[in-house]
Structures are given as C-alpha cells and as structure tokens.
C-alpha cells in the first residue's frame, strides 16, 4: 500500500472559511513529491498571476481557488478512492512543526544556529527560498516524512 504525507497552508477569507494557499505532498517511502501555490481573491491579482493560476487550474491540478481546508479529505478521496486519510497530529501524536524541528534527531544542542540549519536540511519551494523555510509546505512535508519514518 502506498502512503503519502500532505501539508496544507490556508488563509481565512472574510466569511471565516479556510482557503488553501499552499499545498505539498510527498510519498512516504521515496522523494516523489509535488507542490502548489494558490492565489485567492483576497490577495491582489496581476494579469500575469491570474493567467498563470487559470492555466494551472485548466491544465494541471484543477483545484479551485475556493477550495478550503474542510474539503481536503473529500478532495483526496475523490482522486484516490481507496485512501485512508490520517491526521498526523491528532491520530499519530506528531508534534507541532515548531516542536518537530527541535527534536533531538534534528537538533545539536551545542549549536545555537541548529534550528535554522535543521530547516535548511529539507528542500523548499522557490517562493520561500529567501524567506523562513519552515513556512513552506514543501519544506514541512520532508520534516514530517522524516518524523513518520522514525516514529510510525
């Protein structure tokens, strides 16, 4: 049976509905992965970003910009009907991401820069290259993958 880890980052719209802003998925037993960034009506559109988002919607992932966090299980199960969706935090006891980077197999207590370096151990998307890597879902799925392999 194949297993994958999915991480979603959302924003809240004016009606307090969660809208997916960024999403990444990685196979548990390999480095096969995919990453998406969504642009919503709450953020300013440029002609270029609108064209890119429409192209992605039509030709690639076909996930609407109105797709919210509450639809994630349904979306996954529509694409993969046999899937069993497990919440790593609630169902498996995975620590919060800020705690995950602090775990002993990630952190050398003698190195004060290790928190930053640990986040850099895993890849991140081009958008987050010059920002905090721990905010990137692509970076987090590999941290979650490592935790899952070591603790499942």
The domain tally of the chain equals 1
Domain around 58: 4-150
pTM for the full model? Answer: 0.61
DSSP letter, residue 27: E
- Rounded CA-CA distance 92/15 in Å is 31
pLDDT band at 127 (very low <50, low <70, confident <90, very high): confident
> What tokens does 73 get?
């299980």
Collapsed DSSP state (helix, strand, coil) of residue 147: helix
- Rounded CA-CA distance 6/86 in Å is 10
Q: What is the mean pLDDT of residues 64-91?
A: 64
Better pLDDT: 84 or 105: 84
Q: What is the pLDDT of residues 12-70, one digit of tens each?
A: 666 767 777 788 888 888 888 888 887 666 555 566 656 656 655 555 555 565 655 55
Work out the number of other CB atoms within 10 angstroms of the CB of residue 152: 11
């Amino acid at each position: 049976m194949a297993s994958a880890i999915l991480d979603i980052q959302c924003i809240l719209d004016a009606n307090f509905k969660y809208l997916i802003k960024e999403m990444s998925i990685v196979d548990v037993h390999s480095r096969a992965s995919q990453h998406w960034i969504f642009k919503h009506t709450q953020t300013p559109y440029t002609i270029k970003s609108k064209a890119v988002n429409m192209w992605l919607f039509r030709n690639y992932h076909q996930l609407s910009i109105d797709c919210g966090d509450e639809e994630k299980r349904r979306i996954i199960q529509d694409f993969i009907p046999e899937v069993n969706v497990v919440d790593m935090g609630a169902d498996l006891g995975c620590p919060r991401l800020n705690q995950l980077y602090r775990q002993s197999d990630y952190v050398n207590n003698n190195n004060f820069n290790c928190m930053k370096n640990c986040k850099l151990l895993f890849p991140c998307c081009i958008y987050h290259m010059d920002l905090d890597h721990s905010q990137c879902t692509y970076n987090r799925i590999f941290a979650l993958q490592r935790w899952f392999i070591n603790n499942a």
